[in-house]
Structure formats: structure tokens, C-alpha cells
Amino acid sequence: MLIGAGVLTLMVLGLLAAGFGRPRPVREGRWTVGLGLWFSIAVLSALLAAGVWVGERLLPRGDAVVTVEAHARQWGWRFGHPDGRGGRIETDGTLHIPAGQPVDVIVTSADVIHSFWVPRLAGKIDAIPGRANRLRIEADTPGSFDGLCAEFCGLGHAGMRFRVIAHPPDDWPAVLETLGEETAE
């Protein structure tokens, strides 16, 4: 953004210098078409190129090791984890992920628009009824991270908090085994 503003400033200063440096009469139509058309094309092309470059960097790379589901409802979160045998393990209010590995979170909603946000791990994405949105997160180190709903969704909105626990990758199969046993009880 700063580079673009600098280039734009230099272009304007260059045009001003060219205008004051040549006191000859110029047809206005030529300047209008030249500046209005070519300058617009140059700026829009630069913005498009920058947008494509940034967009490509935001896209997930490769296959995610783990895909989890985050299902929002007034006023809580339910998470679905793979059990390693083709099934799902569900937990309320706590999302478990392996540290150091990309995790795709499929975010849905049962009732109104919510927003899944874990400030220390990734951006936020809306949970919209009837739609599944995907967000890739990754915890660099094991630990506990706070998440919340960042979209006002009614009277209980302030209580729509959850916890993300990132486990060491070597412990991940044992964590799934333990979660499976806890939910079976």
C-alpha cells in the first residue's frame, strides 16, 4: 500500500513538473484522454496484480493433514474431529488440533450468522446458515488459544467463546483415542 502511494505521488509530481516546465499551449482533449484513460488502466492493472498476488498467498497450500468441523448455534460451538477410523468425535466448546500442521476448519451455522475467530491462529470467517466456509489455521507450538464469535448474534453473544487446544503432533493419535473414549461414555 505504501509503495503504491509512493509511486502515485511520484507520478503526480512528475506530471506537475512536466506541466510547469513547458509553457507551450496544449490541447486539453489530448491530456484528458491520455491521463484519464492510460493512468486509469495503469492504476487498475497494478491493483489487480497486487490483489491476485495477495489472494494467492492467502489460499491454502497442499492437503490439510486434519479437517475439523465448527458448528455454531445460539450460543455455543460444537466441534467435530476425525476419529482416525472414518468417524467423527464431537466436543462442545473445545477444538483440538495438532500443533505444527495445517488444519482446515469447516465452519457452519444452525441459526443466524456467527463468526469463527481465533486471533492468535488465523483470520476470522463467517458461519452462515446453509453454507460451509473453510478456514485454514495452524498453531506453531502446542498450547491453548482463545476463540470467540466475532459477529453479534443475539443476547448470549458475549458467551460464545471457545478454546482451541493444540497438541504435540506425536500425541495427536492418543488425543483422538482419549476424546473418542470420553464421548462414548
Q: With contact defined as beta carbons under 8 Å apart, do 77 and 97 qualify?
A: no
CB-based burial label for 18 (10 Å; 0-12, 13-18, 19+)? exposed
- 141 pairs with which residues across the strands? none
Helix (H) or strand (E) holding 91: strand 88-92
Q: Give the start-to-end residue ranges of the domains of the chain.
A: 2-58, 66-184
Is the C-alpha dihedral spanning 63, 113, 166, 178 positive or negative? negative
Question: Mean pLDDT for the chain?
Answer: 84
pLDDT, tens only, 91-132: 999 999 999 988 999 999 999 999 999 999 988 999 999 999
pLDDT, tens only, 38-76: 788 888 899 999 988 887 776 666 665 789 999 999 889
The domain covering 66-184 belongs, at the CATH homologous superfamily level, to Cupredoxins -  blue copper proteins (2.60.40.420)
**Whole-structure pTM value:** 0.66
The confidence score (pLDDT) of residue 139 equals: 92
As a whole-number percent, the residues of the chain with pLDDT over 70 amount to 84
- 72 pairs with which residues across the strands? 77, 109
